[in-house]
C-alpha cells in the first residue's frame, strides 16, 4: 500500500493545497494530511478548527485523512507506515527550502521519499500567509479557500 503524508500547517487550507492533494490522489492508496505544530509559527486558527476544515473538505474521500502531530515529520510517517512525503512547490525559492528539508529527511530515513508537485499556475501566487493577511484586514478570502472552509471576510 502506497501511503503518503502531506505535512503543513494549513492555516488555513487553501485551494492550492486542495489542488496538490487532488492531483496527487491517483498516485497513492492513502494520503494523510499531517497538520504539524510548528514552534516557529503562531497560527491564526486553532488546530481543531484546521482539522475540522480539512475533514470537511475531504469528507467524500475515504482515502484522504487528516491528523495533527508534533515533532519530526519522519517520525509521523513511520507511525503511519508512510513511505512518501508530498510537498507543493510554487516558485524556485520554495524548491530550495523544500529540497533542504527533503535532504535532511532522507538522511534521517532513506526509505521515505519526498515528492514535489508544482502548483497549478492559478494557485501559485498565494499562500496561507497571504490569505491570513487578507482575512485579518477584512478582505474576501473566498476565492482562495475551499467552500467548506466557510471563510469569506473578517469584517
17 noted as active-site residue: yes
What would the grid cell of residue 54 be? 480539512
Catalytic residue among 25, 78, 90, 99: 90
Decide: 2 and 71 in contact? Cβ < 8 Å: no
Please give the Cα distance from 62 to 133 (Å, whole number).
32
Catalytic residue among 18, 50, 119, 128: 128
Q: Where do runs of H (alpha helix) occur along 7-72? A: 15-24, 47-57
128 noted as active-site residue: yes
Please give, one letter per residue, the 3-state secondary structure of 80-121. CCCCEEEEEECCHHHHHHHHHHHHHHHHHCCCCEEEEEECCH
Q: Residues with catalytic annotation? A: 17, 41, 90, 128
Amino acid at each position: 500500500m502506497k501511503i503518503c503524508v502531506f505535512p503543513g500547517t494549513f492555516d488555513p487550507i487553501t485551494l492550492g493545497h486542495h489542488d496538490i492533494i487532488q492531483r496527487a490522489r491517483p498516485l497513492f492508496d492513502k494520503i494523510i494530511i499531517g497538520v504539524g505544530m510548528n514552534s516557529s509559527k503562531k497560527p491564526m486558527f486553532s488546530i481543531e478548527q484546521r482539522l475540522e476544515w480539512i475533514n470537511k473538505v475531504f469528507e467524500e474521500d475515504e482515502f484522504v485523512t487528516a491528523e495533527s502531530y508534533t515533532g519530526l515529520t519522519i517520525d509521523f510517517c513511520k507511525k503511519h507506515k508512510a513511505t512518501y512525503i508530498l510537498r507543493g512547490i510554487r516558485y524556485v525559492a520554495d524548491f530550495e527550502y523544500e529540497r533542504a528539508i527533503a535532504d535532511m529527511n532522507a538522511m534521517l530515513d532513506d526509505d521515505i521519499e519526498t515528492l514535489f508537485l508544482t502548483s497549478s499556475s492559478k494557485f501559485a501566487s498565494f499562500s496561507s500567509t497571504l490569505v491570513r493577511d487578507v482575512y485579518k484586514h477584512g478582505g474576501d478570502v473566498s476565492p482562495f479557500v475551499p467552500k467548506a472552509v466557510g471563510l469569506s471576510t473578517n469584517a
